[in-house]
Amino acid sequence: MSVEYLAELMRAHQPCVVLTGAGISTESGIPDFRSPTGIWRRYDPMEYATIDAFLADPEKVWDFYGKRLASLAEVEPNDGHRALAQLEQRGWVDAIVTQNVDGLHARAGSRTVVEVHGSIRTSSCLECGTTVPFADALARLPVPTCPTCGRVLKPDVVMFGELLPQAAMDRAVRLASEAGLLLVVGSSLEVYPVAGLPLETLAGGGKLAIVNRGETQFDVDAAVCIDAGAGETLAALAEALADRLQ
């Protein structure tokens, strides 16, 4: 299956919504979670990425997140992020639903981005509700504390055991259910409720396309699966659609 076939799907099935995961950011130097070099191969998510682990030992969780926060301060959007921003500007992509917390879609110029797992852009105090920007949390490492009440801050990312931001998830479900095409890029589609979004599109009569290195449980339901790099594939897709405005 080729990029040209994916371009034909985008021409024929609008609106197109894109669902991204960690795989679109690996080419920016951010490791993903479940591929052979992923974070969860080195860290046990039950020890570092659950709300219970955070409440039990916030310093230990910050030791994990602090490293990620510092590295995220250095990264830049890649060809995949830029291609999606261009496809939105030319009318081919209506919105991006992202599981990523790195903020790279917005930095690449995408305007309609639904962050269903939160973002490292801010950290908040669970005690008094104070919120601080990324730079302040970074400056307060290794264990950022609340400037108001002194309690340990929590990064505003969704941890396992937490509910997703309701408004964001409601919007993501609506976008997926009304999509003519859901294009999944760089996600193993293993974590619910986001992994259920392809079913919303299919139930609404839309089509599914997947660009991912490695298989997912929804490959059988996809009109096209491209097992290749997100950056090269999305850049080629933007090129294939460059001849027209939607």
Q: Give the catalytic positions in this structure.
A: 117
Return the range that interacts with ligand APR (CB under 6 A); candidates 23-31, 54-62, 105-113, 133-141: 23-31
Query: Is 11 a residue that touches ligand APR (CB under 6 A)?
Result: no
3-state secondary structure the chain: CCHHHHHHHHHHCCCEEEEECHHHCHHHCCCCCCCCCCHHHCCCHHHHCEHHHHHHCHHHHHHHHHHHHHHHCCCCCCHHHHHHHHHHHCCCCCEEEECCCCCHHHHHCCCCEEECCEEEEEEECCCCCCEEEHHHHHHCCCCCECCCCCCECEEEECCECCCCCHHHHHHHHHHHHHCCEEEEECCCCCCCCHHHHHHHHHHCCCEEEEECCCCCCCHHHCCEEECCCHHHHHHHHHHHCCCCCC
Interface positions, 56-115, toward ligand APR (CB under 6 A) = 99
Residues 120-179 that bind ligand APR (CB under 6 A): none
Contact range with ligand APR by CB under 6 A, out of 81-89, 171-179, 185-193, 237-245: 185-193
Q: Which stretch binds ligand APR (CB under 6 A): 26-34, 61-69, 103-111, 162-170?
A: 26-34
Residue length of the chain = 246
26 lies in the binding site for ligand APR (CB under 6 A):
yes
Q: Give the binding range for ligand APR (CB under 6 A) out of 31-39, 53-61, 85-93, 127-135.
A: 31-39
Using the rule CB under 6 A, is 190 a contact of ligand APR? yes
Contact 106, 127 (CB under 8 A): no
Which of 51, 173, 191, 199 is the binder for ligand APR (CB under 6 A)?
Answer: 191
Task: Give the strand pairing for 118-124 and 154-157.
Answer: antiparallel
Q: Smallest gap, in angstroms, from Cβ of residue 80 to ligand APR?
A: 7
Comparison of 49 and 146: residue with beta carbon closer to ligand APR:
49
- State which of positions 217-236 bind ligand APR (CB under 6 A): 229-230
Closest separation between CB of residue 221 and ligand APR, Å? 16
Q: Compute how many other C-beta atoms are within 10 angstroms of the C-beta atom of residue 142.
A: 9
Is residue 38 close enough to count as binding ligand APR by CB under 6 A? yes
Under rule CB under 6 A, residue 34 binds ligand APR: yes
Report the residue from 3, 7, 17, 33 that binds ligand APR according to the rule CB under 6 A: 33
Residues in contact with ligand APR by the rule CB under 6 A: 21-23, 26-27, 32-35, 38, 99, 117, 186-188, 190-191, 212-214, 229-230
